Structure 1
Amino acid sequence: MSWIVVVICLLLVMAWYLSYSAARLDRLHAKVEGALSALDAHVVRRAEASLELANSGAIDPASGFLVAAAASESLERVNERTFESDLLEGQHFAGREGVESELTEALHAALPPEVSRDIETKGGPGAAALERVREAGLRVQLARRFHNEAVKEVQRVRAKRVVRLFRLAGYADLPQTVEFDDAQIGS
C-alpha cells in the first residue's frame, strides 16, 4: 500500500514539473514574440528618422538619395508581410536582415564623423533629425540584443531532454536570432 502512495506522489511531482516547464516555455515564447514586435517597431522608427534626415537637406543630395532609398526599402519590407502564409502571424523578421544592414551601411556612408559634427554645429532640423536617427539606432541595437537573448533562452530550454521527450513545445517553430549590421553612426 505504501508503494502505491509513493508512486502517486512521484506521478504528481512529475505532472507538476511538466506543467511548470510547459508554462515556462510558453512564457518564454511570448517574451520572444514581444521582443520581436519591439524590434520591428524600433526598425520602423529608425527608417522613418533616416528618411526625415535624408529629406532635411542636411546631407548632400547623393547621400540623401541613398539613405532615402534604403529607408524606403526598409519601410516597404515591413509593410509587405503576408499574414496568410505566416503561421506565426508576423512574429518573425521575414528575412529583412539584408535590408536593415543596407540602411546601416547607407547611414555610415552618408554620415562619417566629420559630416555628423558639421550637421550638429549648424543645428536646425538636420541636427534634430540626426539625433533621432542616433536614438532610434541605439534602440534598434538594444531591442535586437534583447530579442536574441530571449531566443537563446528558448533554444536552451527547448534543448532539454524532458522538453523534447514530452514535446512540451508542441508544434511551435524554434525561434531564430536576428542578425544584421546595426552599428551606431559616428558622432
Structure 2
Amino acid sequence: MTTLAWIAVVVGLLLALAWYLSYSAARLDRLHAKVEGALSALDAHIVRRAEATLELANSGALDPASALLLVGAASGSLERVNEHTFAADPLEGQHFAGREGVESELTEVIHAALPPEVVAEIEEAGGTGAAALERLRAAGLRVQLARRFHNDAVKEVQRVRAKPVVRLFRLAGHATLPQTVEFDDALPSR
C-alpha cells in the first residue's frame, strides 16, 4: 500500500472514531435530558398525590385524627417539593434532593389512616370522600409509574456511563451520575 492509501485509512478511522464519540456524547446528553424530564414528571405526580391526600382529609369522610395525620404528612410533602428549586440544583434536576423519607412517611400515614375497613366504608358512603379516595389512588398509581420510569432512565444513564469509551474520553463531562429514587409508594388496599 502506498503512503497515500495509509493516510486515507488513518483519516477514515479517525473520522469513524470522531463520529462514534460524537454519537455517544449526544446519546448520553439525550439520556440525561430524559432523566431530568422523568424527575420533573415525578415531582408533578408527587404534588398531585399530596393534593389528593389533602382533598381526602378535608372531605369529611375520615375521623378528625386520621384527617389531621393526613394533612400533616401531605403538607410536609408539599413543603419539601417547594424547598427543592432547580435554580440551586447542582445536578440541574437530576436528583430527588433527599425527599425519599418524606414521601415514604406520607405513604405510611396514608396506609395507617386508610385500612381496608375504612376504605370500604368510604366507598360504600360514596360522595366527595369516595371521589377523593379514587383521585388519591389514581395519583398514587401515577407516582409509582413515574418513579419506575425515572429509575429506568437513571439505570440507562448509569449503564452507558459505565462503558469504557465513555469513561476514557470523558463524554459525560463533569456531570454527576444521577441516582435512582427509592421510597415506599404502595397504594392503599381496597
Q: TM-score, normalised by structure 1?
A: 0.97
Cα offsets for 1:103-146 (capped at 9, x unmatched): 00000001111111110110010000000000000000000000
Q: Which is further off, 79-88 or 118-127?
A: 79-88
- Flag the 1:149–1:160 CA change in 2: closer, same or farther, 3 A: same
Question: How far apart, in 1, do the equivalents of 2:85 and 2:30 lie?
Answer: 26
Residue number in structure 2 paired with 1:141: 144
Structure 1 residues 20-169: aligned runs within 5 Å: 20-83=23-86, 85-169=88-172
Question: 2:39·2:93 contact (CA, 8 Å) conserved in 1?
Answer: no
Shift of 1:84: 5.3
Question: 1:44·1:78 contact (CA, 8 Å) conserved in 2?
Answer: yes
CA RMSD of the aligned region, Å? 1.1
Question: How far apart, in 1, do the equivalents of 2:31 and 2:86 lie?
Answer: 23
Residue number in structure 2 paired with 1:18: 21
The count of aligned residue pairs is: 187
Residue number in structure 1 paired with 2:7: 4
Gaps of 5+ in 1: none
Shift of 1:82: 4.5
Cα offsets for 1:5-33 (capped at 9, x unmatched): 11000000000000000000000000000
Question: How far apart, in 2, do the equivalents of 1:113 and 1:74 lie?
Answer: 24
Match of 1:169, SS state, is coil
Question: 1:81·1:90 contact (CA, 8 Å) conserved in 2?
Answer: no
Question: How far apart, in 1, do the equivalents of 2:187 and 2:167 lie?
Answer: 40
Gaps of 5+ in 2: none
Residue type at the aligned position of 2:38: A
Question: 1:37·1:91 contact (CA, 8 Å) conserved in 2?
Answer: no
Over 6 Å off, 4+ runs: none
